[in-house]
Amino acid sequence: MNSDFYENLGHRVRELRIAKGLTQEEVARELHVTPGYISNVENNRTAMTLRMLVFYAKLAGVSLDALIGSIDSSYKETALDNELTDLIRLLTPEEKEKLVKTLKIWKCGS
């Protein structure tokens, strides 16, 4: 991962927490850590373990791929592909047919 990964991680963790309307205390309680740990992560004084990243992504309502992809630009394309695949799996067969038709029109113009 690039050298800016951990700096961007703290910023992204803070953004997601605020977007969810959560306090550091609430996040800490859900993740079974201290509010100081969350503060340290958000201020780039400590890094989250993979286990904490997984739990945090779930709490924030995003996939781990989406969380990492929003932090590490070299992983962004893979994260987008995985997110699309996950969303497509949720579609009914009829919705998938509509999606294919729409994509063909949009991408191919036919």
User: What residue type is assigned to position 48 of the chain?
Assistant: M
Task: Tell me which residue of 34, 36, 27 sits closest to 56, measured CA to CA.
Answer: 27
pLDDT, one tens digit per residue, over 13-39 is: 898 899 999 999 999 999 999 999 999
Which pLDDT value is given to residue 110? Answer: 56
Average pLDDT over residues 57-81: 74
Buried b (16+ CB within 10 A) or exposed e, 86-106: eeeeeeeeeeeeeeeeeeeee
pTM of the full structure:
0.60
**What tokens appear for 58 in the block?**
């779930």
Closest to 64 (Cα-Cα) out of 52, 54, 73, 72: 54
What ranges in the chain are assigned the alpha helix state H?
5-19, 24-31, 35-42, 50-60, 64-69, 76-89, 93-108
- State the distance between the two ends of the chain, measured CA to CA, in whole angstroms: 40
pLDDT at 1: 47
Residues 65 and 83: beta-carbon distance below 8 Å: yes
Instruction: Please check the confidence at residue 106 and state whether its pLDDT lies above 60.
Output: yes
